[in-house]
Amino acid sequence: MNNFLIMALIVGSAVIAIILLLLFWLFRAQAKLKRDYQTLRDSIHVNGNDIAGLCAAALGVDSRIAAVDKRISITDGLIDDLAAKISEMEEHYGQAGMGSHDQADHSYSVDINRVRSGASIDELMHDSGLSHDEAALLVRLHGGRGNR
């Protein structure tokens, strides 16, 4: 019976030692989990702040894009208005009876050389098909003292 009691004490001591070791291991695991949890919580907090900052920046960029889009729309409208005015001007001057002579394509270099050689307003009008005002301007700008 004495043997039985000693065996029971040894087994009981071994069980208590194992339980204590397991308890110690559980406390260490719980401490590690606490540290990991705190690290994750801090990371989530930092990420939340970063996301809030990114959202604020995105709102700022969105408002600037909206302002630029509005300016582009206004500019498109102005360009359309200018294109319409240019078309009106082309139609008006195209139908004003400029004759078969197209003023936009006229090269004045030959006429300027003729004025420098002494051509008169009448000669320019007759030979080059210039209007009186065009010929007078060329003579005034490029002619010598005698032609002015």
pLDDT tens profile 106-131: 578 888 999 999 999 999 899 888 99
Tens digit of pLDDT for each residue in 69-79? 999 999 998 99
Segments making up each domain of the chain, as ranges: 1-30, 49-93, 107-148
Output the pLDDT for position 100.
44
Q: How many helices (H) and strands (E) does the chain have?
A: 4, 0
For the chain, residues with pLDDT lower than 50 are 96-105, 147-148
Q: Which of 111, 140, 137 is nearest to 124 (CA)?
A: 111
Q: Is 133 helix (H, G, I), strand (E, B) or coil?
A: helix
C-alpha triplet 57, 62, 64: angle, nearest 5°:
95
Output the pLDDT for position 38.
97
- Residue recorded with tokens 């695991």: 29
Q: Is 0.75 topped by the overall pTM?
A: no
Instruction: Give 125's contacts (C-beta < 8 A, 6+ positions apart).
Output: 131, 132, 135
